[in-house]
Amino acid sequence: MLLQIPQLFSPEEARQLRETLERAQWRDGRQTAGHLAQSVKRNEQLALDDPIAIQLGEQILARLGQNPLFISAALPARVLPPRFNRYAGGGTYGNHIDNAIFTIPGNGARVRTDISSTLFLSDPDSYDGGELVIEDTYGVHSIKLPAGHMVVYPGTSLHRVNPVTRGVRYASFFWTQSLVALDVQRRTLFELDTAIQRLTADHPEHPSISQLTGVYHNLLRLWSTT
């Protein structure tokens, strides 16, 4: 399931995050790439233990925990601490699929990358190129969102970042291990949850609400990997 989450951060909040990143110490992104990815990756990233990365990552995690759309769509069990990248001067990242497993720095816990997320932090008119291009069974999707907006998509997707030919593209990216491993099951639960919320808003006393809610939780109980 590919889903846009609008205004995880307001434009002003995104500007503040971006200004903090502009003061950061960036390093060659190929240092964090696997053997195959090194040949197609040309960007800059913050070190995982960089104080700015840790500080801003904690802000993002706190905001995610308050976002009903992300919680409904991702059903998060574990979220890897957010990372940050910078693209400029033709920077790009060719077609690749993310690693299936990452380790949380510091505690060694492993996260299965069911869901990939990209939080855009630069205004789209401030740079040329830089589209996140995702290929899935429904076709090719080119995504370039306003600052503060986020996109979530299956970690199994082939994707790339087009070259940035003008300006600078700042973003945060991270992975989520869901309570439900299969994308088709998460999509079903998300659609059911959305329908229940709409029914509750339009007909709060409708007797089917409790029955549908029970179906939702029984499916979650059946499909959960926890």
Same domain, 163 and 208: no
Same domain, 76 and 156: yes
Same domain, 76 and 104: yes
Same domain, 116 and 187: no
Q: Residue 37 pLDDT > 70, yes or no?
A: no
* Per-residue confidence (pLDDT) for residue 131, from 0 to 100: 98
Give the annotated binding-site residues for Fe cation.
96, 98, 159
Give the annotated binding-site residues for 2-oxoglutarate.
169
Same domain, 128 and 196: no
* Per-residue confidence (pLDDT) for residue 178, from 0 to 100: 98
The CATH number for 209's domain is: 4.10.860
Q: In which domain, by residue range, is 201 found?
A: 183-223
Give the annotated binding-site residues.
96, 98, 159, 169
Indicate the SS3 state at residue 4: strand
In this prediction, residue 111 has a pLDDT band, given cuts at 50, 70 and 90, of very high
- Report the mean per-residue pLDDT for the chain: 95
What tokens appear for 127 in the block? 């740079």
Same domain, 124 and 208: no
Same domain, 92 and 167: yes
Closest of 115, 38, 132 to residue 72, by C-alpha:
115
Number of domains in the chain: 2
Q: How far apart are CA 74 and CA 64, in angstroms?
A: 10
Q: How far is CA 220 from CA 73, 76, 172, 175, 183, in A?
A: 13, 12, 29, 21, 13
* Per-residue confidence (pLDDT) for residue 30, from 0 to 100: 77
Same domain, 156 and 112: yes
Same domain, 43 and 89: yes
> pTM above 0.75?
yes
Same domain, 145 and 38: yes
Same domain, 43 and 118: yes
Same domain, 192 and 130: no
Residue showing tokens 């960089």? 50
